[in-house]
Structure 1
Amino acid sequence: MQEEKYRISFTAGTLLMEETCAVAEVFLETGRDWNRTRECALRENLMRKEKVSTNKRLFSLVKQRIEVLNEEEQNLLVAGTNSVRRLLLLLAVCKAHSFIFDFIFINVRDCFFSMHEKITHANFNEFFNESKYVHPELETITDLTLRKIRQVIFRILEQAELIESIDTGILRRPYLPEHIERIIVKDNPKWLGIYLYSNNEINNAISLYE
């Protein structure tokens, strides 16, 4: 089976917590009408950028992330506390961008369960170089773009509180409330891996909620 190609469009923005939640709120208020949501988002400058082109590009990125969440997850993104929103935004980012999911699921999780205290640029570079064998589209990425990808991903890890800061890279495992864990298992249990669950813990969660 051919692997899905990695798309690197996520470099346009990091976690975008305030922007995504603002757009998600309008999306629900309009009865999940993307045309009206886009019109409102650009009119009200929900992306908070000066250039119209930048606003449009960020809106497209935010839309892509909201769309991959199911209705239950979208509702929680709007109604939840900041900690719940952060968890769901990490889920949205990983569902929308398979490169970020794979990096966290494979590399970050391996560092965590190998008792490494932190994730480093060297870990990322190793993941990127190994991924080229399966994803030849990465061969065309320049060093400048690679630095941008790494910078954005580490900022996302920091904003999602998977690491203490981009400076230290110290790993932190998020706490998932039971109702969030249950919703994610119902969606697809593999997503628990982005919150640094082990394979055994994922299987236990499946048994608990099936």
Structure 2
Amino acid sequence: MSFGTGGLFLNESVAIARLFQELGDWSAVKRVASEQAVIPFKKQSSVTRSVREIANRLEVLRPEEMELLAHGEYHNQLSVLWLALCRGYRFIGEFATELVSERFLSFRTHLTYDDFDAFYAAKAEWEPDLEQISVSTREKLRQVLFRLMREGGILSKDDHICRALLSPVFTNLISASDPKEIRFFPGAEPAGQKGD
């Protein structure tokens, strides 16, 4: 539940992915990215925290996914970042598959803060750690998650779930690694199933 920093950080994530390809070591990447001010914040503590957050997200990516983030087209970069969030944060992955994708399939595409709260409460019944999180932190996480979904193209500006339009390149990557991860993307179909 430590995804409460900033937004999707697309440009910064691309820069950090390229640094990782160059340096091959996450400790070095975090140090160099902080020194080079890859993230344009005035406070060094904010830069360091954000670089660490982005690196943590990207560490879950496979080399081909990192390559697509570093040098792919814009919509593929967004898809890779959403994949990284869903993989890196179990709560986001479960929210994407159990709530967002299911709602999309049942044609109830408007998503509200109340939907988040109900999902969170249901999860907290089984995860005591979630109950320990303060209301103010939960509200911040909710706000950040909705922002991430809007920036990633999962939600429209008026909070309607958007059908994921994934490229064949990205869909093939998912199918090769873990076909179940296609469920992170509302309405997406595994490779080879379009039009079947």
Give the TM bin, normalised by the shorter chain: over 0.9
Residue in 1 that maps onto 2:174: 184
**1:23-172 matched pairs, under 5 angstroms:** 23-30=16-23, 32-165=24-157, 168-172=158-162
Secondary structure of the 2:125 match is: coil
Secondary structure of the 1:12 match is: coil
C-alpha distance in 1 between matches for 2:6 and 2:166: 25
Write out per-residue CA displacement over residues 176-201 of structure 1, whole angstroms, 9 at most, x where no aligned residue.
Answer: 11121010111111210111147xx4
> Which residues of structure 2 form unaligned runs of 5+?
none
- One-letter amino acid matched to 2:49: R
C-alpha distance in 2 between matches for 1:140 and 1:33: 34
Equivalenced residue count is 194
Residue in 2 that maps onto 1:21: 14
> Which residues of structure 1 form unaligned runs of 5+?
1-7
- One-letter amino acid matched to 2:81: L
C-alpha distance in 1 between matches for 2:39 and 2:178: 30
Residue in 2 that maps onto 1:9: 2
- One-letter amino acid matched to 2:167: P
CA contact (8 A) 2:161 2:186 kept: no
Residue in 2 that maps onto 1:5: none
Write out per-residue CA displacement over residues 89-141 of structure 1, whole angstroms, 9 at most, x where no aligned residue.
Answer: 00011111111111111011121111113111111111001001221111112
Q: Percent identity?
A: 28
2:149 paired with 1:193: no
Write out per-residue CA displacement over residues 2-50 of structure 1, whole angstroms, 9 at most, x where no aligned residue.
Answer: xxxxxx11101221111111111111122x1223322321111012211
- Indicate which of 174, 177, 185 corresponds to 2:164: 174
Q: CA RMSD in A?
A: 1.6
State the TM-score, normalized to the length of structure 1. Answer: 0.87
C-alpha distance in 2 between matches for 1:117 and 1:110: 9
C-alpha distance in 2 between matches for 1:112 and 1:191: 16
Write out per-residue CA displacement over residues 136-189 of structure 1, whole angstroms, 9 at most, x where no aligned residue.
Answer: 111112221111011000000100111111xx2111112111121010111111
C-alpha distance in 1 between matches for 2:185 and 2:55: 23
CA contact (8 A) 1:15 1:93 kept: no
- One-letter amino acid matched to 1:18: N
